[in-house]
Structure 1
Amino acid sequence: MKCDKQTMLLYAVTDRAWVGKQTLYEQVESALKGGATCVQLREKHLGDEDFLREAIEIHALCQRYGVPLFINDNVEVAIRCHAEGVHVGQSDMEAAQVRQRVGENMMIGVSAHTVEEARRAVAHGADCLGVGAVFATSTKTDVDVLPRQTLIDICNAVDVPVVAIGGIHKENILQLKGTGVDGVALVSAIFAAKDIEAECRKLRALSEQIIK
């Protein structure tokens, strides 16, 4: 399945750490109302059956808004909930193996940190790439900040959509202008906000500026 660049513009990645007054479901709906164009459901600590139940609910929600759902890491849950996509990291299953499991109709996203990783992922069937960390981030402490030139080189090296991730928020997002990215993936910038819907509206407008 080809990945539409437009759907990568404002990519919301869930994090249960920010669940509070709203449930995760309510948070995702707020992000969708605010203009999120893609959602990645990330659950590091839920068992598969609980993850699947949640994924089915979130997928139905995303379908109502016409927005694709990616499942982070868990290929089996992605298949069983009929998600539009699955995202894997460099230490997870190779894209070629994922493609064998999911068939041709599911998008595969892969994390990449070098031009070599990006090219290999695309050669093995990746439909889009998550590249970073583009700024310092508290979400992942084991990831180095990617030089701006490396981000530009990756964008120039592949013909699939590239999404920047890592430490992006409304104060630094415009620094990504001119790199060639097709969108931004955000965790705390969206889900830690007091008003997720309003924050997404601002972030969506800023995202549109960086791809012009």
Structure 2
Amino acid sequence: MVQLRVKEAETLDFLKEAVSCVEVAKQSRIPIVINDRVDIAMACGADGVHLGQSDLPARQARMLLGSDKIIGVSCQTLEQVQKAYEDGADYVGSGAVFPTTTKKINSAIGLEHLYALCRGSPLPIVAIGGINASNVKEVLRERPSTLHGVAVISALFDQPDVCKATQELAEIISDVFNS
């Protein structure tokens, strides 16, 4: 799945980029969600939205998007996970697991906290934040049943060859799940 994350753009510019990305994703049969913006997700025909704790609540997003769209919510506590579940979210993004430069303000929750969230979550969890080729095996080592994947940005886009970095990370993850 791809999440389109555009933090600094005018609405019309964001919409144009989203429409273009949705078109490519649909041709490739890859689900695409829009970060933070339910209005953009609706306007561009995305598969869903990923919401932060200060965004529109998942319950209201579900009312607007309907039951067939994907809704993810960023959570750092079991209370937030439970609320996301009660509000109709489909998955949780949890982290930052490690320090990251992607967000201006971030504090790492660490692996043990991630695993505790996984053990208490009724929803699938995607680990986020600071995950890359050198530490993804560590993140996936315990493979709690609700840990369904990892999300990466700089592990790919800060590399000189994004395609090569993507292939290498995919191979590492595949090896973990096939071992």
TM-score range, shorter chain: over 0.9
Deviations 1:56-75 (A, max 9, x none): 11001011111001100011
- Secondary structure of the structure 1 residue equivalent to 2:98: coil
Supply the distance in 1 between the matched residues of 2:176 and 2:75 (Cα, whole angstroms).
20
Q: What is the TM-score of this pair, normalised by structure 2?
A: 0.92
Q: 2:19 aligns with which of 51, 56, 61?
A: 56
Unaligned 5+ runs, structure 2: none
- Whichever residue aligns with residue 156 of structure 2, its letter is I
Q: 2:41 aligns with which of 62, 68, 78?
A: 78
Structure 2 residue aligned with 1:102:
65
Structure 2 residue aligned with 1:30:
none
Unaligned 5+ runs, structure 1: 1-37
Structure 1 residue aligned with 2:173:
207
Q: CA deviation at 1:142?
A: 1.9
Deviations 1:126-173 (A, max 9, x none): 101110010111112422111322211211222332111111111111
Structure 2 residue aligned with 1:167:
130
Does the alignment pair 1:178 with 2:142?
A: yes
Structure 2 residue aligned with 1:15:
none
After TM superposition, list the pairs within 5 Å mapping 1:4-153 onto structure 2: 38-153=1-116
Supply the distance in 2 between the matched residues of 1:203 and 1:155 (Cα, whole angstroms).
22
Structure 2 residue aligned with 1:194:
160
Supply the distance in 2 between the matched residues of 1:135 and 1:69 (Cα, whole angstroms).
24
- State the 4+ residue runs in structure 1 displaced beyond 3 angstroms: 209-212
Supply the distance in 2 between the matched residues of 1:149 and 1:50 (Cα, whole angstroms).
40
- Secondary structure of the structure 2 residue equivalent to 1:53: helix
Q: CA RMSD in A?
A: 1.4
Q: CA deviation at 1:209?
A: 3.8
Supply the distance in 1 between the matched residues of 2:125 and 2:175 (Cα, whole angstroms).
16
- Secondary structure of the structure 1 residue equivalent to 2:6: coil
Deviations 1:89-142 (A, max 9, x none): 011111111111111111001001011111111111110111001011111242
- Whichever residue aligns with residue 110 of structure 2, its letter is P
- Whichever residue aligns with residue 107 of structure 1, its letter is I
- Whichever residue aligns with residue 114 of structure 2, its letter is L
